[in-house]
């Protein structure tokens, strides 16, 4: 998961010249990482909710 410092670092790159070749790779990697973590949390929560629906005793 990205730290708040890493997110701020990415925001700085996006505000500045983020098209610069050496910065673009970093920004893309961080965006992919951020998206992957978000999707993982979404699927984990969705699976947990399905399990709770099927078996209310699961916490």
pLDDT of 2-22, one tens digit each? 678 877 877 776 776 656 667
Whether 59 is covered by a domain: the verdict is no
Could you give the C-alpha distances from 19 to 6, 10, 15, 35, in angstroms and in order?
18, 12, 10, 20
Task: Return the minimum-mean-pLDDT range out of 19-23, 27-31, 42-46.
Answer: 19-23
pLDDT at 38: 86
CA–CA distance, 30 with 53 (Å, rounded to integer): 35
CA–CA distance, 56 with 53 (Å, rounded to integer): 6
Query: Which residue did the predictor score with more confidence, 59 or 37?
Result: 37
Domain count within the chain: 1
Whether 12 is covered by a domain: the verdict is yes
Could you tell me the residue range of the domain that residue 18 belongs to? 4-54
pLDDT at 55: 74
């Amino acid at each position: 998961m990205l730290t708040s410092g890493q997110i701020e670092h990415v925001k700085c790159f996006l505000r500045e010249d983020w098209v610069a070749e050496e910065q673009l790779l970093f920004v893309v990697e961080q965006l992919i990482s951020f998206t992957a973590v978000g999707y993982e949390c979404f699927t984990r929560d969705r699976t947990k909710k399905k399990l709770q629906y099927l078996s209310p005793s699961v916490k």
